[in-house]
Amino acid sequence: NQLAGKVALVTGASSGIGKATALFYAREGAKVVVSDIAEDKGQQVVEEINRAGGEATFVKADVSNPQDCEQLVQQTVDAFGRLDVAFNNAGIGGESNPVGDMSIEGWQKVVNINLNSVFYCMHYQIRQMLQNGGGAIVNNSSILGQVGFANSSGYVAAKHGVVGLTKTGALEYASKGIRINAIGPAFINTPLVTSLGEETLQALVKMHPIGRLGEAEEVAELVVWLSSPKASFVNGAYYAVDGAYLSQ
Ligand code: NAD
């Protein structure tokens, strides 16, 4: 058990990569706070963890709201006494349009949910982690934190921003026992992607040298490792999990 005795928090944990990671964190012995705006699906994740013999609780939080992020950390401490591990994962695909046509609201929404949220979460998580002697934070960026993608300027800019925020946080807290890393999944088989329709999916598959999309569990394995003491010298890094997408 890589995370025995640890308290872990996952945002966007009702679905996809966040859900897979919450289940794996629990499997590794962590007490897990499952957080999302989707309450019913989140409660189902909690039940699945409890049925498997783990310990979890649901906290509703909209990560684009700083007060919700503060409350989320507070309720984690109220429930389990501390915070050791955080996976800042919640995110959306956002409006698909070239820059000249992208609405101002569309830009603001995706940057709020995919970038500002990660700052808000880290801000409160770090303050708590300093009180319990350190911790590990993993931020979910994307391959689109490294390269562009037409018609997704807000998403791409936000995900690049997450990488910069990760590196800067790592520099600031490396000597204080907090490790902060980012992951870069390629296109993963979750509702965020499968909602795009069959034709788009086939085109996306072709962009991956491995010849398929990734699975949420394949991403969760990396997140668990980065969150665990096995990754004790890994800090400020960006790890792709992408079927060689970025090698092209
Ligand atoms: P998903 O849609 O399956 O899950 C996202 C979850 O985030 C949902 O449960 C949703 O309710 C929640 N969420 C949305 N807005 C929220 C908010 N404001 N506050 C709290 N929760 C909110 O998608 P996923 O593919 O698992 O995506 C998770 C993360 O992975 C996102 O940050 C996404 O950008 C990133 N990512 C996904 C892919 C992919 O191809 N699926 C690739 C790279 C990165």
Summarize pLDDT for 50-107 with one digit per residue, the tens. 999 999 999 999 999 999 999 999 999 999 999 999 999 999 999 999 999 999 999 9
> With contact defined as beta carbons under 8 Å apart, do 84 and 135 qualify?
yes
Q: What is the mean pLDDT of residues 209-236?
A: 98
Q: How far apart are CA 69 and CA 222, in angstroms?
A: 24
Which residue among 10, 11, 15 has the greatest number of ligand 1 atoms within 8 angstroms of its CB, and so is best to mutate? 15
> With contact defined as beta carbons under 8 Å apart, do 95 and 154 qualify?
yes
239 catalytic? Reply is no
The reported pLDDT for the residue numbered 2 is 96
Q: Read out DSSP for 30-55?
A: -EEEEEES-HHHHHHHHHHHHHTT-E
The reported pLDDT for the residue numbered 98 is 98
Closest atom of ligand 1 to CA, residue 112: 18
The reported pLDDT for the residue numbered 88 is 99
Percent of the chain at pLDDT > 70 equals: 100
Q: What is the mean pLDDT of residues 111-140?
A: 98
Q: How far apart are CA 5 and CA 230, in angstroms?
A: 15
The reported pLDDT for the residue numbered 68 is 99
Closest atom of ligand 1 to CA, residue 38: 11
pLDDT 10s digits, 2-54: 999 999 999 999 999 999 999 999 999 999 999 999 999 999 999 999 999 99
Closest among 110, 92, 124, 213 to 157, alpha carbons compared: 110
CB of 36 shorter than 6 A to ligand 1: yes
The reported pLDDT for the residue numbered 15 is 98
The reported pLDDT for the residue numbered 90 is 98
The reported pLDDT for the residue numbered 10 is 99
List the domains of the chain with CATH numbers.
7-247 (3.40.50.720)
Average model confidence (pLDDT) across the chain: 98
CA 208 to chain centre: 22
pLDDT 10s digits, 164-221: 999 999 999 999 999 999 999 999 999 999 999 999 999 999 999 999 999 999 999 9
Cα 14 to ligand 1 centre (Å): 9
Closest atom of ligand 1 to CA, residue 187: 40
Q: How confident is the model at residue 244 (pLDDT cuts 50, 70, 90)?
A: very high
Which residue among 35, 190, 193, 245 has the greatest number of ligand 1 atoms within 8 angstroms of its CB, and so is best to mutate? 190
Selected catalytic residue, list 25, 124, 155, 245: 155
Closest among 116, 115, 147 to 240, alpha carbons compared: 147
CB atoms within 10 A of CB 75: 18
Residues 6+ apart with CB under 8 A from 176: 130, 134
Which residue among 40, 63, 64, 92 has the greatest number of ligand 1 atoms within 8 angstroms of its CB, and so is best to mutate? 92
CB of 140 shorter than 6 A to ligand 1: yes
The reported pLDDT for the residue numbered 33 is 99
* Model pTM score: 0.99
CB of 228 shorter than 6 A to ligand 1: no
The reported pLDDT for the residue numbered 18 is 98
